[in-house]
Amino acid sequence: MREILEDVRKLIQNGDYKNEEHIRLSLVCRILSKIGWDIWNPREVNTEFPPIPSEDKTKVDIALFAQEVSPSVFIEVKALGKINENNLVEIERQVRDYNRNNTALFSVITDGKLWRLYYSQTGGEFHHKCFKDFDLLQDDLEDIEQTFYLFFGKKNIINGFAQEKANQYLQLNKRQKIVQEVLPQAKKMIQEPPYPTLIQSIKILAKQKGVDLGEKEIKEILGNPPLPPDGPPPPPPPGVGQIDPNNPGDLRFTRVDGTIGEKSARTWKDLVDIGIKLLMQNGYDINRINALFPVNLKEGIYTSEGYSQVGELNISSQGMDANNSAKTLVLIAQKLNCRLKLIVLWYGKSPRAGKQGIIELPN
């Protein structure tokens, strides 16, 4: 998926998407195919779908059917650059009307670059149903990739996991939501000169979005957030299998949503960083951590040879694959006798792509 998103970015930057059909076929359907939708089956990916059969002129650009009974997702596609403040209200009204007689779980408005996600089946005015939006050209690709799999993965729609997460997002107030949106970019900023703190980075990025946040407020949101990456993860969807913590098997091509101690995150790197902080809070120094755990730590801020800063600490850790990250987290939880819960999703080239499992150690 990452390679596709990177290629799409280049095509957008080069101006290769010339019209609405390019966006629908060469961009949207390309992504849908990658996350498991059979784009060649019109019963599953139905283009020009009539949500109100008695009105021939009303057609949804793409309707997704995870099950044949009712539509799961309506996608309204516009040509690149055709979504803006001047016409968004009219486009939202158009998508709202699609849902009057034949309501989908989710609705999407996109011009390829800008994406707006709506949970159609919640109450209130339609524009208040938007629970997430992102810019494919500007925002963090890891977060975008996770968003596509989380909310548009067919299994997550069928088992209710996607709906549950969307409902959680809608509960965020605007200021909390801004912090969640800018957090991935803020984490990158702290690794580059002039090396601002995470709080300062979030404040700067929120200001660019027109929201003035105080440092105390940001700390409160990060300290007790209602959603990952720092909040408690949702319960695993039905059918998730238990994974042996001491023998988890091959964890390549996985994403994770987990908790160690009282903190949560949605990437292996962030979870390991939380674990390292816990070790240091419990009296472990860098030398002891390097000796007892499969990590490589250095004092100071390093950005070469795969190193990156550990949170806001003046230490850096070398990147690890998912297998070593999981091993490290299990060892930390066992040493500190703290809670560990990892919900793992396989994707891409893995023979287990689309399957999920859970690694859990009670404290």
What pLDDT does residue 137 have? 87
Q: Does the residue 45 lie in any domain?
A: yes
236 in any annotated domain: no
Q: Which tokens belong to 127?
A: 């524009």
Q: pLDDT for 12-24, tens place per residue?
A: 999 999 999 999 9
Four-residue CA torsion sign, 23, 24, 26, 28:
positive
Q: Which tens digits make up the pLDDT trace of 321-359?
A: 899 999 999 999 999 999 999 999 988 777 888 888 999
* pLDDT above 90: percentage of residues in the chain: 40
As a residue count, the chain comes to 363
How many domains are contained in the chain?
3
For residues 60 and 159, membership in a common domain is answered with yes
Mean pLDDT of 299-309: 83
CATH number at residue 30: 3.90.1570
Distance CA 76, CA 95 (A): 7
Max CA distance (Å), the chain: 72
Regarding whether 246 and 143 lie in a shared domain, the answer is no
Q: Residue 97's domain spans which residues?
A: 2-170
- CA distances (Å), origin 323, targets 87, 156, 246, 256: 47, 24, 11, 12
Q: Looking at the structure, do residues 60 and 76 belong to the same domain, yes or no? A: yes
* pLDDT confidence of residue 69: 78
pLDDT-derived band at 155 (thresholds 50, 70, 90) equals: confident
Q: Which residue has the higher pLDDT, 171 or 295?
A: 295
| 357/54: higher pLDDT | 357
Same domain for 180 and 135?
no
Calculate the alpha carbon distances from 336 to 134, 154, 242, 260 in Å: 38, 38, 22, 10
Residues 59 and 181 occupy one common structural domain: no
Give me the pLDDT at residue 45, please.
Answer: 94
CB 314 within 8 A of CB 300: yes
3-state secondary structure of 260: strand
Same domain, yes or no: 114 and 196: no
357, two tokens = 């499992």
Within this chain, do residues 130 and 41 fall inside the same structural domain, yes or no? yes
Distance, CA of 132 to CA of 123 (rounded, Å): 16
| pLDDT confidence of residue 240 | 53
HEC sequence for the chain: CHHHHHHHHHHHHHCCCCCHHHHHHHHHHHHHHHCCCCCCCCCCEEEEECCCCCCCCCCEEEEECCCCCCCCEEEEECCCCCCCCCCHHHHHHHHHHHCCCCCCCEEEEECCCEEEEEECCCCCCHHHHEEEEEECCCCCHHHHHHHHHHHHCHHHHHCCHHHHHHHHHHHCCHHHHHHHHHHHHHHHHCCCCCCCCHHHHHHHHHHHCCCCCCHHHHHHHHHCCCCCCCCCCCCCCCCCEECCCCCCCCCCCEEEEEEECCEEECCHHHHHHHHHHHHHHCCCCHHHHHHHCCCCEEECCCCCCCEEECCCCCEEEECCCHHHHHHHHHHHHHHHCCCEEEEEEECCCCCCCCCEEEEEECC
**Residue 234, in any domain of the structure:** no
Across the chain, mean pLDDT equals: 86
Task: Examine the domain organization and report whether 200 and 288 are in the same domain.
Answer: no
Question: What letter does residue 43 receive in the DSSP assignment?
Answer: T
- Asked whether residue 191 falls in the same domain as residue 295, the answer is no
Q: Which of 58-62, 189-193, 327-331 has the lowest mean pLDDT?
A: 189-193
Its pTM stands at 0.53
311 versus 263: the higher-pLDDT residue is: 263
Q: Which one of 170, 195, 213 terminates a domain?
A: 170
Using one digit for the tens of pLDDT, what is the confidence trace for 219-262?
Answer: 877 764 433 333 334 444 444 578 999 888 889 889 999 999 98
Distance, CA of 188 to CA of 16 (rounded, Å): 29
Domain boundary pick from 170, 185, 200: 170
Pair 101, 213 in one domain: no
Q: The sheet that has 60-64: what strands, in order across it?
A: 45-49, 60-64, 73-77, 106-110, 114-119, 130-135
Question: Coil, strand or helix: which one is 95?
Answer: helix
295 & 309 share domain: yes
Q: Is residue 232 part of a domain?
A: no
